């Protein structure tokens, strides 16, 4: 980009989602503020939750699928003795039980059974589709159907604070984990019932809460000129992939969709750059392992 050139709105924007907003609310507002239609989000946050919601803008949407598999970190409050139909604070209270006997040691013991690889039944109030219908649509009609358990991994599950009847828990987990379901299951294990009374997401993949901006801050920025300091490069979520550095002719061939011979046996995906450091997109190994084929191309051959 030459001096004075208008910055292109390509990259990841890390938003600190406010309580009461849906993830789609954030996307819709960001589109209006940025004047950019190509905006997508990774990892839906429930309306009551706050924290990290990464937005892919412009050509960063080409790498959004890689962020979908990323792990996440949360600080969750679990209130024992109360159950709700959605397992979180937005739900209707369905039962109350005495939790006065529950101790810190009892909570620690319950948490121990949920570390590592576990099976988790997703909540009815979720966007998962079964038989072509989203579960939350069925739940709104008062219906409940059987859901198959799903494998998830709790890499870290620590009790940060115990102020009866509320446990504050730090969670590092794999994709597909429902913290609401964790709260429900902890309540069942403790024999008191429980619901998720607060949730803050601190991390999604490489993006952390400390680098997030609020929607108000975004609206007050001098855009597009402040975009480079606000955003992360579109390749930020694929830095674990092998990198190809292409010469001038190879760059042209890449942009024409032609395969690039691999120096070493090719497998999986890669990220490609020109010798000038320009990001060219994502490649995929062909069936022989002898070449990389452009899968997502940034820029044109002209």
pLDDT, averaged across the chain: 91
Check residue 1 and give its pLDDT. 46
Strand bridging mode 207-208 / 150-163: unpaired
Q: What band does 76 get if pLDDT is binned at 50, 70 and 90?
A: very high
Is the Cα dihedral 218, 219, 221, 226 positive or negative?
positive
Is 3's pLDDT higher than 70? no
Check residue 230 and give its pLDDT. 96
Check residue 186 and give its pLDDT. 98
Strand bridging mode 50-57 / 194-204: parallel
Residues 6+ apart with CB under 8 A from 242: 270, 271
Q: If you average pLDDT over residues 180-205, what whole number do you get?
A: 97
Q: If you average pLDDT over residues 97-114, what whole number do you get?
A: 97
| Cα 92 from Cα 111, distance rounded (Å) | 25
Q: What band does 2 get if pLDDT is binned at 50, 70 and 90?
A: very low
Q: If you average pLDDT over residues 10-23, what whole number do you get?
A: 96
Check residue 81 and give its pLDDT. 98
Is 126's pLDDT higher than 90? no
Is 166's pLDDT higher than 60? yes
Residue 161 annotated to the active site: no
CATH fold of 241-297, please? 2.30.130
Check residue 6 and give its pLDDT. 84
Is 170's pLDDT higher than 50? yes
| Cα 33 from Cα 223, distance rounded (Å) | 9
Is 252's pLDDT higher than 70? yes
- In the CATH scheme, what architecture does the domain 72-204 have? 2-Layer Sandwich (3.30)
- pLDDT tens-digit profile of 128-162? 666 666 655 655 656 566 667 899 999 999 999 99
Please identify which of the residues 46, 85, 88, 185 carries the catalytic annotation.
46
Check residue 141 and give its pLDDT. 59
Distance of CA 235 to the CA centre of its chain: 16
Least confident of 56-60, 86-90, 212-216, 233-237: 86-90
| Cα 198 from Cα 171, distance rounded (Å) | 13
| Cα 111 from Cα 182, distance rounded (Å) | 9
Q: What band does 122 get if pLDDT is binned at 50, 70 and 90?
A: confident
Check residue 5 and give its pLDDT. 79
286 touches 266 (CB < 8 A): yes
Q: If you average pLDDT over residues 49-70, what whole number do you get?
A: 95
Is 233's pLDDT higher than 50? yes
What percent of the chain is predicted at pLDDT more than 70?
A: 89
| Cα 261 from Cα 274, distance rounded (Å) | 15
Residue of higher predicted confidence among 3 and 257: 257
Domains 72-204 and 241-297 share a fold: no
Best CA proximity match to 116, nearest among 154, 151, 149, 73 = 154
Q: What band does 7 get if pLDDT is binned at 50, 70 and 90?
A: confident
Q: If you average pLDDT over residues 34-55, what whole number do you get?
A: 94
Residues 6+ apart with CB under 8 A from 40: 27, 55, 56, 61, 64
Is 243's pLDDT higher than 50? yes
Q: If you average pLDDT over residues 231-237, what whole number do you get?
A: 96
- In the CATH scheme, what architecture does the domain 11-69+206-236 have? 2-Layer Sandwich (3.30)
The ranges assigned to domains in the chain are 11-69+206-236, 72-204, 241-297
Q: If you average pLDDT over residues 158-187, what whole number do you get?
A: 96
């Amino acid at each position: 980009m030459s001096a004075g050139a208008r910055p292109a709105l390509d990259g990841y924007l890390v938003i600190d989602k406010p309580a009461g907003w849906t993830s789609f609310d954030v996307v819709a507002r960001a589109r209006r503020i940025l004047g950019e239609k190509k905006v997508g989000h990774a990892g839906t946050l429930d309306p009551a939750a706050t924290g990290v919601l990464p937005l892919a803008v412009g050509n960063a949407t080409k790498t959004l699928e890689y962020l979908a598999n990323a792990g996440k970190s949360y600080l969750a409050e679990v209130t024992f003795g109360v159950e709700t139909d959605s397992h979180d604070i937005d739900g209707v209270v369905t039962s109350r039980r005495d939790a006065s006997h529950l101790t810190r040691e009892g909570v620690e013991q319950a948490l121990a059974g949920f570390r590592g690889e576990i099976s988790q039944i997703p909540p009815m109030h979720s966007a998962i589709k079964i038989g072509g219908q989203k579960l939350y649509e069925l739940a709104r009609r008062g219906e409940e159907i059987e859901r198959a358990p799903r494998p998830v991994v709790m890499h870290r599950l620590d009790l940060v604070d115990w102020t009866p009847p509320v446990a504050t828990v730090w969670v590092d987990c794999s994709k597909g984990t429902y913290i609401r379901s964790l709260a429900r299951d902890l309540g069942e294990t403790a024999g008191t019932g429980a619901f998720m009374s607060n949730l803050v997401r601190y991390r999604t993949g490489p993006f952390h809460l400390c680098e997030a901006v609020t929607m108000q801050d975004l609206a007050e920025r001098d855009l597009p000129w402040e975009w480079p300091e606000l955003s992360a490069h579109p390749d930020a979520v694929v830095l674990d992939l092998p990198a190809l550095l292409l010469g001038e002719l190879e760059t042209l061939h890449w942009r024409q969709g032609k395969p690039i011979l691999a120096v070493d046996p090719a497998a999986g995906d890669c990220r490609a750059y020109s010798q000038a450091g320009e990001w060219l997109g994502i490649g995929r190994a062909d069936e022989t392992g002898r070449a990389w084929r452009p899968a997502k191309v940034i820029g044109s051959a002209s």
